[in-house]
């Protein structure tokens, strides 16, 4: 047997040995019990809750009335316009004083000025200026507010925006209603829990259900300047009451 033949024989023997060893290992592994996969436990159970809503609305007699008006003048001379505006403003203050409305009850905003232009065949020309100033006049009486509107309506250079009824101490009244509606919601949730033999746990969430509203009975909007506009008509067009409402949505844990 030459060396080449002997090498081939040894190679065949080695390959046979490796193949036999691999088959034994596979057989042993197949004989061993396989490890079982343990799935992670996922609970589908959700927290039991009670969801309720409650609302409340209260009506109060208005105790403050605010009239918003604007004084507006037009002209070609800016300096003259500002002087005229000052004169007219003082005249209005004097008229309000006769109604027992003090200067401290009149809130003045900044004076605005804008230019007026004319256009002819694409050419723009300055025609003059417009100066204006708005006021918020506070009254504690509805009848005084109506009288103030009547006085201002007679002035050709005064535009009345609106007269609104308001409440002094509105924030404290609103808080009182919110506390009341919150208690109403909790009592309602507790009744539902007891009806199924449970009791309430922790509060999950509480939110406004549609928000809190402030509503006026009536408003004066853009009052026309009619000298024959009767005092009774003005009085009836001003709100005499204010309604405050609150609504809440409550989610509470239910314990069995």
Domain over 64-166 is classified CATH 3.40.50: no
Contacts 24+ apart (CB under 8 A), 126-130: 127/76, 128/74, 128/75, 128/76, 129/74, 129/75, 129/76, 129/78, 129/81, 130/72, 130/73, 130/74
- The total of other beta-carbon atoms located within 10 Å of residue 120's CB is 7
Q: In this structure, what are the phi and psi dihedrals at residue 119, rounded to the nearest 5 degrees? A: -125, 130
- Dihedral sign for Cα 155, 161, 166, 169, please: negative
Question: Could you give the dihedral angle defined by the CA atoms of residues 209, 163, 171 and 245, in that order, rounded to the nearest 10 degrees?
Answer: -30
Assign domain 48-60+169-216+241-256 to a CATH class. Answer: alpha beta
Q: 203: phi > 0 → left, psi -120 to 50 → alpha, else beta; which?
A: beta
| Sequence ranges of the domains in the chain | 48-60+169-216+241-256, 64-166
Between CA 237 and CA 216 the distance in angstroms is 11
Q: What is the pLDDT along the chain (256 residues), one digit of tens a residue?
A: 555 565 555 655 555 655 555 555 555 555 544 433 333 322 235 789 999 999 999 999 999 999 999 999 999 999 999 999 999 999 999 999 999 999 999 999 999 999 999 999 889 999 999 999 999 999 999 999 999 999 998 899 999 988 999 999 999 999 999 999 999 999 999 999 999 999 999 999 999 865 445 554 443 333 334 444 566 777 777 888 889 999 999 999 999 8
Q: Say whether pTM exceeds 0.75.
A: no
pLDDT of residue 88: 95
Whether the CB-CB separation of 192 and 50 falls below 8 Å is answered with: yes
pLDDT of residue 190: 95
What would the two tokens of residue 170 be? 């509105």
pLDDT of residue 22: 57
Whether the CB-CB separation of 74 and 114 falls below 8 Å is answered with: no
pLDDT of residue 121: 86
């Amino acid at each position: 047997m030459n060396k080449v033949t002997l090498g081939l024989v040894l190679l065949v023997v080695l390959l046979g040995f490796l193949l036999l060893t691999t088959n034994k290992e596979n057989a042993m592994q197949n004989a061993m019990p396989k490890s079982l996969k343990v799935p992670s436990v996922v609970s589908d159970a959700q927290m039991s809750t009670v969801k309720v809503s409650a609302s409340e609305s209260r009506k109060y007699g208005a105790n403050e009335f605010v009239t918003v008006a604007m004084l507006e003048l037009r002209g070609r001379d800016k300096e003259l316009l500002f002087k005229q505006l000052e004169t007219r403003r003082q005249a209005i203050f004097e008229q309000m004083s006769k109604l027992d409305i003090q200067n401290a009850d009149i809130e003045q905003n900044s004076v605005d000025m804008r230019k007026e232009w004319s256009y002819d065949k694409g050419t723009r020309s300055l025609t003059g200026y417009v100066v204006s100033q708005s006021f918020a006049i506070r009254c504690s009486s509805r009848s005084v507010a109506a009288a103030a509107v009547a006085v201002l309506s007679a002035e050709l250079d005064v535009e009345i925006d609106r007269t609104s009824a308001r409440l002094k101490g509105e924030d404290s009244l609103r808080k009182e209603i919110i506390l009341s509606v919150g208690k109403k919601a909790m009592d309602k949730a507790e009744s539902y829990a007891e009806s199924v033999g449970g009791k309430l746990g922790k509060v999950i969430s509480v939110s406004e259900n549609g928000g809190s509203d402030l509503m006026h009975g009536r408003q004066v909007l853009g009052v026309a300047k009619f000298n024959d506009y009767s005092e009774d008509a003005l009085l009836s067009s001003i709100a005499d009451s204010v309604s405050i409402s609150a609504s809440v949505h409550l989610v509470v844990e239910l314990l069995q």
